[in-house]
Amino acid sequence: MSEDLNELWEVRSAVASENFALECAQLRDANTYDLSALDYVIRHLATELWDRKFSQREIRTAFEAATGEKLTRYCAGEERVGDKRGR
């Protein structure tokens, strides 16, 4: 049962992340403001996480980990998907 719950948790986490990223991309594409859509969304996400009892340290650590070495390796030197010039 525990393995099933862990697998369900992982699937739910992945689906939530994919849906959030899709929504962020759609907001970016529809953006008519002179500001970065992602900056705007991430600032609000951080405050929403804090409002839901995640600590500042947890939020900061997660963002730093997400944008650190793991993302760099995942992107294989590309700045953006399909952008080979970033190497």
Domain ranges of the chain: 1-53, 55-87
* Residue 3, pLDDT score: 82
- Is the model's pLDDT at 76 over the cut of 50? yes
- pTM for the whole thing? 0.78
| Residue 44, pLDDT score | 96
Sorting pLDDT into bands at 50, 70 and 90, what band is 73? confident
Calculate the alpha carbon distances from 62 to 4, 36, 49, 66 in Å. 25, 21, 11, 6
pLDDT tens-place string over residues 1-56: 688 888 999 999 999 999 999 999 999 999 999 889 999 999 999 999 999 999 99
